[in-house]
Amino acid sequence: MSKTHHYLAAALIGLSATVQGPAAHAQQAASAPAADTALTGGEIKKVDKEAGKVTIQHGELRNLGMPAMTMVFRVRDRAMLDKVRQGDKVRFRAERVDGALAVTAIEKAE
């Protein structure tokens, strides 16, 4: 091959890697939200409707990088507290909302 062909081949290989890079990243990012919206299992330890808070003994909160523990959460919507009682097994989602951890979704576990 001539030098021109070598340069052309090298340029095409470089261009190919550049084009695939963002596409691969976009594909990986597209799959991340599914894992990020997963619900975590837990058990209701206390419901404080007046304060709008719930205490949950929970598994790892991967989206927040937190290990399993028992903690108090605010709830995004106080109506969520009408759906659960102390001792209920639940699946829930917690997120950082306005600088505090809050339950944004909750359902009884089956």
Q: Where do the domains of the chain lie?
A: 1-36, 40-108
Q: Is residue 42 a contact partner of residue 92, using CB atoms and an 8 Å limit?
A: yes
Amino acid at 46: K
Per-residue pLDDT tens for 47-84? 999 999 999 999 999 999 999 999 999 999 999 999 99
CA 53 to chain centre: 21
Please state which CATH number belongs to domain 40-108. Answer: 2.40.50.320
Query: Measured between alpha carbons, how far is 1 from 47 in angstroms, rounded to an integer?
Result: 76
Q: Which helix (H) or strand (E) covers residue 10, if one does?
A: helix 3-36
Question: In Å, what is the CA distance from 68 to each residue of 51, 53, 98?
Answer: 24, 19, 23
Model confidence pTM above 0.85: no
